[in-house]
Structure 1
């Protein structure tokens, strides 16, 4: 009988211990390492050695001095040493404030500022705050967001680090590293859900004025709880939780966008960033940072249409990160690409030649407006738009014009100009602009006159050209007698009355381009009756 009572008492003790451990907020599951035993574990992590026997019974350890490595030991947090810890602002872009605990003090956020439990961090538009915790976890507060540090504790001798953050509104991005020496617990509480994680990279957003929480897992796994229900969200999945409702089953995140057609060099503002559309995306988010880790973010924007546009960045080297957003507002995987912006100093405004205009071939002049930031200009002239073999490269044009010393042969040309300043160096070239040096109108080489007709002839400069001929009685060509096109190098007309006439021609090139008329040439057509005979016959005509 006595033996039965002892056994019952032992069973009751174990049950009470188990029940007590279940009533605790949480247990710490410790993985035994070589050299560990219950005594040195208690020395490092527990409040008292009195918990050794209870710990032995709770975990069914036969020998408290020898525990096989790899065994999982449950340690109730109530038994552990604990201390409060702090966090710090690792980096900051833009403006953010810190409301210090219950004191209502408002501090301007700045790098290396220590943060404590109860502190509230608010970011403004285009402002980003990266917070680093004791275990190396990092949380980035996105623009127009607000968080409150709810709990920062260390259990044992840096055995377990517990971090709890309340996201009031906005979005946060989190990286919680797995540490072989330290167990980290990281939780984010929102008005509608709690996201708990141990070693992962994830994002949490509060949407619709706090009514909805979006949780997205990029690596590792996440537990999302709401209304006493929990769902496991694995890598590449996301879950949405509405206030007063349990979390929805996880769905697959959208893939990373294709940035293959996004250039690596931009030379104009605003930035126009092309991105291939993704099926199932209802919006896109883009972020631009100075570094590949996006610790120093400069700007962030969302759009429902592509391409992205951004107009206020200084010249420099950047990293672009783009993700698609689905119909549930879950944000997918990131696509990342480095790019360079070199848009300053801007090229000057062009005066002449304007794109598509005509320029004389004899020592032509190029002109542009003065660029206030420029110390000098770079000018290229080429026969092809890629400027692979420029005909003219003038590297230090100080004035706002360039007088070419050599003549240009007829044809199509491309030119571009760039400004150079002492502060910025060489800016981008303007877009290639075309101008044309026309083939001059052919000169009359031969005139043949017979009793009934006259024939003008000239020489073609190239095969396939056509010609536009005008004949008039005045050099202003206000009285045009003939206006005709021909593919021949001659034209025959009925002989007009004698006198002085004016002829001009222009060349129509094989691509249809019409050059200007050449200089008018005067042509004397002999009278059919000589002047001297008309003078002799004039008195007789008057008598009649």
Structure 2
């Protein structure tokens, strides 16, 4: 403090200009020295702040066309048309000047205009609804289009698939919540910018391969950001467990933490996937828990198989039996109207390798099956086509009163289709040595006479030919005892 008082007293004396300047300079140096010492002393007691590396500005090249002016270029390609002044300073071009073709200009990448795009709903099933901003939710209709700011919500067995402008698809599975955070395309470069915020459930994406370096497609969950440049992958977030599972079926996915050092860590457009904290390739996945590091890639379980892949689903319910898979703790079975699983209608997780979906209308469907590992990741899928064609077959038998004759009756549910029947009667449950085998029956009744006493086993087989295909339905093997 003595030093400060001395400087103050000296400063109050009137001195010639050059001497005053010298004194002021000396006082400044002394003060700076004192402040530097004090600062150095205090820095020993508080941590140094990390240096933030400044990001170099990015530019995009534009080659002029005949008659272009900065006004025209700014109006066409910049988000603010008045930024022609920025172009003038940056490129040293007078604003009013009409430029010949072939001049290469630099345009600031962060000032390029982005046009909003729309997503088209191509499939929806079950309870599914949407809302824009804070508006109330309303059900989807066939003509629904969604834009940036829309929210999507699905219930049990509720599914929605969106088609983006570039041909990519986004499917929201049952019990999911997804927001469209960004859906834009840069006017000059044509680069797409698509960001979706997943709050709950699972979203599966089939992303068209990027054609622009700055194309961006990201799924944000509360714990990770999954970014791609063209692939098929799934991201599932469980709010209860606070975990995000990423499974890559094709291509590669860059996975980064959603937040890092208290700031958004999502990669910027143009950042290569290899720069991500984890690069998850096809046939691998990762599981990340909230607050933890991004999970290491682990190999997905191999696809399981159906035990009867060619079976026609003609029973009261649609049932699938799977071949048990090694290391599987559960199985996931999904039914869709298309092979790509864009039009999902059922989704079930089962602990045993069999699933019963109840009744479904007649038609052609596709079932996708996958084995689930102990880490919660669904493995590689296998898709089978199957036909749902209900064919009910009821049969009964009873003795005729006052005789040793037995009457057998049957009927089918699809009676409008011409049907042939086969009747088999034997003394063993396997029916290998029949005592009656009739293959030429067209009616619904048969009487067998003069049967000796004993135990008998029988069945009826219905055969139909429709639309170029052969169908066969067996009744259960039944038995009766004929007393002496």
Fold shared, TM-score > 0.5 on shorter chain: yes
Q: TM-score range by the shorter chain?
A: 0.5 to 0.7
Q: Which residue in 1 is equivalent to 2:339?
A: 292
User: Which ranges of structure 2 fall in alignment gaps of 5 or more residues?
Assistant: 1-52, 93-100, 266-276
1:184 matched to 2:184: no
Deviation at 1:196, TM superposition (A): 1.2
Cα distance 1:210–1:188, how it changes in 2: closer, same or farther (>3 A)? farther
Q: Does 1:116 align with 2:160?
A: no
Residues 365 and 211 (structure 1), Cα distance of their counterparts in 2 relative to 1, 3 Å cut: same
User: Computing the radius of gyration over CA atoms, which structure comes out larger, 1 or 2?
Assistant: 1
TM score, norm. by length of structure 1: 0.61
Q: Distance in 2 between matches of 1:360 and 1:124?
A: 62
Question: What 5-or-longer segments of structure 1 have no aligned partner?
Answer: 1-18, 31-35, 57-63, 68-72, 438-514, 518-544
Q: How does 1:135-284 map to 2 (within 5 A)?
A: 135-157=166-188, 159-180=190-211, 184-209=215-240, 211-226=242-257, 227-228=259-260, 230-259=277-306, 261-284=308-331
Structure 1 residue corresponding to 2:126, chosen from 84, 87, 94: 94
Shift of 1:132: 1.4
| CA deviations over 1:53-85 (Å, ceiling 9, x no partner) | 9699xxxxxxx9599xxxxx9985313222222
- When structure 1 is superposed on structure 2, of 233-242 and 306-315 the one drifting more is 306-315
Alpha carbons of 1:38 and 1:300: their partners in 2 closer, same or farther (altered >3 Å)? same
Q: In the alignment, is the contact (CA less than 8 A) between 1:410 and 1:436 conserved in 2?
A: no
Matches within 5 A, 1:71-470: 77-102=109-134, 104-157=135-188, 159-180=190-211, 184-209=215-240, 211-226=242-257, 227-228=259-260, 230-259=277-306, 261-344=308-391, 346-352=392-398, 364-367=406-409, 379-382=421-424, 385=431, 390-397=437-444, 401-403=445-447, 414-416=458-460, 418=462, 429-433=473-477
CA distance in 1: counterparts of 2:106 and 2:253, whole angstroms: 21
Report 1 or 2 for greater relative contact order, CA contacts < 8 Å, sequence distance ≥ 6: 2
Q: Secondary structure of 1:78's partner?
A: helix
Query: Matches of 1:130 and 1:428 in 2, distance apart?
Result: 36
Q: Does structure 2 conserve the Cα–Cα contact (< 8 Å) formed by 1:159 and 1:182?
A: no
1:183 to partner: Cα distance = 5.7
CA distance in 1: counterparts of 2:91 and 2:354, whole angstroms: 61
CA RMSD in angstroms, aligned pairs only? 4.3
Contact 1:366 1:402 in 2 (8 A): yes
Q: State the number of aligned residues.
A: 387
Q: Distance in 1 between matches of 2:283 and 2:91?
A: 38
Distance apart, 1:120 and its partner CA? 0.9
**TM-aligned CA deviation for residue 185 of structure 1:** 1.3
- Residues of 1 paired with 2:335 and 2:216: CA distance? 30
